[in-house]
Amino acid sequence: MDLLRRAGKLEDAPKLLDLSANVTNQKESDAGYNYCRGLFLWFSGEPAKALSHFNNARKDYDWGQVALRNMIEIYLNPDDDVIGGQVFDNMDGNRDSERCESLLLAVCTAEKLVLEVRPKTELDHIRLSILRNKCLMGTRRKNSVEKALEAFTKIATDQNEYVPALLGMATASMILKQTSRARNFLKRLTSMPWDPAVGDDFEKSWLLLSDIYIQAGKYHLATDLLNRCVKHNKACCKGYEYMGFIFEKELIYKDAVASYEMAWKYAWQSNPTIGYKLAFNYRKTKRYVDAIDVCHKVLSVHPNYPKIREEILDKARASIRI
């Protein structure tokens, strides 16, 4: 699953899952099958369904602990956002107020699941500490985030610049509005060699630093980091979304379309925000039929999604009639 995702070929995964299902008579209860099915659903933008499959593997001796850790990660970040990032949050002023309560409930659930984690090795103990402090950050309460920052700093010091801890330090600093401090932590990560064992943490650090650079108008620095993201993970939806944002800001709408098309593809055409941006740039490049098609896909799942009908769909239809 992970190799297919990084190769940008996750659409081949269902065939493998079907093949594996054929050799087990109890696929609904088979922990390994459920774990892999959960990974596929998580990677393809269906976190709620992924949780169900990970839960089916949660009590298994071989698969249970890693399934449990994935469940915690999903509850803490169900939409795979760049935590601490500000570029896309600033575009949606109502986002925090609308989601605050549900996110706090999700953090409470994650905290309960953390209690079930049973570390077996020293690395497992470190991972558990990382998860505990991610839960503290998830509350967004100043005192809790400061405690998490202190804990991440200790882990990073004790474990010789452990990548997830450095990312935690940067993320906590961003939540505390200490952008320059976060940038310094993230710059340390950019000079470190990529390690597939913590590849997702490297990717998140590059995305967060890209976000900081975009906020500062340093698009060329952000683009270099985003190219790293898609080099190591061809299905890096957020990487393409940030690229599209940069091109759009620079009024290069054709390149923005190309980037948003990739983001839309690897969001499995399920993220309404990316759909909106793609449709908007289709309209800017006079691809009105394509804009209408994407609007219909967004509205079929999110019928009340703001502005897309008035600002894109109706205008694209009017342009065709003209």
CA distance 122 to 161: 16
Residue 257 lies in a domain: no
Q: What is the pLDDT of residue 93?
A: 45
Q: State the residue range of the domain holding 294.
A: 269-322
Q: Which amino acid is present at 76?
A: L
Domain boundary among the residues 10, 41, 76 is at 76
Q: Which domain CATH number covers 112?
A: 1.25.40.10
Q: Clarify whether residues 161 and 298 are in a common domain.
A: no
Q: What is the pLDDT of residue 320?
A: 92
pTM attached to this predicted model: 0.94
CA distance 191 to 310: 46
The answer to whether 141 and 171 have CB atoms below 8 angstroms apart is no
Domains held by the chain: number: 3
Q: Clarify whether residues 204 and 235 are in a common domain.
A: yes
CA 139 to chain centre: 18
Q: What is the pLDDT of residue 99?
A: 66
Q: Clarify whether residues 234 and 93 are in a common domain.
A: yes
Q: Clarify whether residues 62 and 89 are in a common domain.
A: no
Q: Clarify whether residues 116 and 177 are in a common domain.
A: yes
Residue 311 lies in a domain: yes
The answer to whether 259 and 281 have CB atoms below 8 angstroms apart is no
Each residue of 106-145: pLDDT tens digit?
Answer: 999 999 999 999 999 999 999 999 999 999 999 999 999 9
Q: Clarify whether residues 118 and 218 are in a common domain.
A: yes
Domain boundary among the residues 250, 277, 302 is at 250
Residue 263 lies in a domain: no
Q: Clarify whether residues 16 and 94 are in a common domain.
A: no
Q: Clarify whether residues 50 and 126 are in a common domain.
A: no
Each residue of 269-285: pLDDT tens digit?
Answer: 999 999 999 999 999 99
Q: Average pLDDT of the chain?
A: 94
Each residue of 66-111: pLDDT tens digit?
Answer: 999 999 999 999 999 999 999 987 555 445 555 677 888 999 999 9
The answer to whether 246 and 20 have CB atoms below 8 angstroms apart is no
Q: Clarify whether residues 11 and 122 are in a common domain.
A: no
Q: Kindly state the percentage of the chain with pLDDT values over 70.
A: 96
Q: Clarify whether residues 88 and 71 are in a common domain.
A: no
Domain boundary among the residues 34, 51, 76 is at 76
